Amino acid sequence: MNEIVFKKFLNPTVVLMRVSAPLVAAKAQPGQFVILRPDAESERIPLTVADYDRENGTVSIIFQIVGETTERLAKLKQGEFIADFAGPLGRPTETEGYKKVAVIGGGVGCAIAFPVAKKLHEQGCEVTSVVGFRNRDLVILEDEFKAVSSNYVLMSDDGTAGEKGLVTDALKKLIEAGEKFDCVIAIGPLIMMKFVCLLTKQYGIKTIVSMNPIMIDGTGMCGGCRLTVGGKTKFACVDGPDFDGHEVDFDEAMARGSVYKPFERKAHEEYCNLYGKAVEE
């Protein structure tokens, strides 16, 4: 069993948990993920490793409450246990050899972007972090990003946090001001990553994206996480989750992802109606 040693709400719907998982912590790298079940009756869900502490044997996860399983997970308290916590899975993000990188994070995708920015910073890379949220109330990991970034740019849709606008607005402004990035790493909603890639393709800048499609077993057996990359079928769980953003078929990925939203919403509503909607911190 995997004990929750720390729990904190980062905003009303996003939760940080630090979990005792020594075997996972010993091997985890930025970009990898775990598959967990909050309890024996839950479905399996993949969550990216947000941080890890090898010395203390803990792994941090950050997730948004969007369905029944994340609702179940959010109800667990510090000192309680997660039934299953398997990993690390997937390929780590390649961070070697870069001197100057722009890390782009959108919404809860910033939880995935942060460990990548941190690793790049530790390797001596100059990191520009551009993060975007709908409004001030949803901002997460602001201090953490600032600590590992040479330049931190905060954007919000309504202008209540940082500058008003999209992450692509900020990235374009930086590029046109003369910034020369070895690579752009974009992590967030599919539509955000698509438009980041359309922008960077104009300037010939290598761009890596982290894909998070429906996933069941995490070993490539089920095929649920298949994507089209460069005209070929890839599986996010074993071939990724990182891919060349200029080769990803984002329209196909968005169409496939939207198929499951009604089922996710129905399961969430039924669970909330049965057990109550309040999630205690």
Residue-averaged pLDDT of the chain: 89
pLDDT digits (tens, 9 = 90+) for 93-115: 988 889 999 999 999 899 889 99
pLDDT digits (tens, 9 = 90+) for 45-72: 899 898 999 999 999 999 999 888 899 9
CA 253/CA 91 separation, integer angstroms: 20
The distance from CA 185 to its chain's CA centroid, rounded to whole angstroms, is 12
- What confidence score (pLDDT) does residue 34 get? 93
Say which residue the tokens 């078929």 belong to. 249
If we measure between CA atoms, which residue out of 43, 37, 41 comes closest to residue 81?
A: 37
pLDDT digits (tens, 9 = 90+) for 143-182: 999 999 999 999 999 999 889 999 999 999 999 999 999 9
Residue 134 confidence (pLDDT) above 60: yes
Return the number of other C-beta atoms located less than 10 Å from residue 221's C-beta: 11
Q: Please name each of the domains of the chain with its CATH number.
A: 2-89 (2.40.30.10), 100-210 (3.40.50.80)
pLDDT digits (tens, 9 = 90+) for 208-245: 999 988 888 777 788 888 889 999 999 988 888 999 99
User: How long a stretch of residues is the chain?
Assistant: 281
If we measure between CA atoms, which residue out of 270, 233, 55, 66 comes closest to residue 47?
A: 66
Q: Give exposure, 141-180, as e/b (b: 16+ Cβ within 10 Å).
A: bbebbeebbeebbbbbeeeebbeeebbbbbbbebbeeeee
Q: How many CA within 13 A on the CB side of residue 129?
A: 30
Residue 260 confidence (pLDDT) above 70: no
pLDDT digits (tens, 9 = 90+) for 1-44: 699 999 999 988 899 999 999 999 999 999 899 999 999 888 88
Sign of CA dihedral 140, 142, 145, 150: positive
- What confidence score (pLDDT) does residue 257 get? 73
- What confidence score (pLDDT) does residue 269 get? 59
Task: Give the three-class secondary structure for 178.
Answer: coil
Residue 121 main-chain phi, psi, to 5 deg: -60, -45
Residue 264 confidence (pLDDT) above 70: no
The distance from CA 223 to its chain's CA centroid, rounded to whole angstroms, is 21
Task: Give the three-class secondary structure for 182.
Answer: coil
Higher pLDDT, 272 or 240: 240
Residue 273: pLDDT band (50, 70, 90) is low
Strands 232-235 and 81-82, by their bridges, are unpaired
If we measure between CA atoms, which residue out of 49, 126, 118 comes closest to residue 88?
A: 49
pTM of the model: 0.85
CA 178/CA 125 separation, integer angstroms: 18
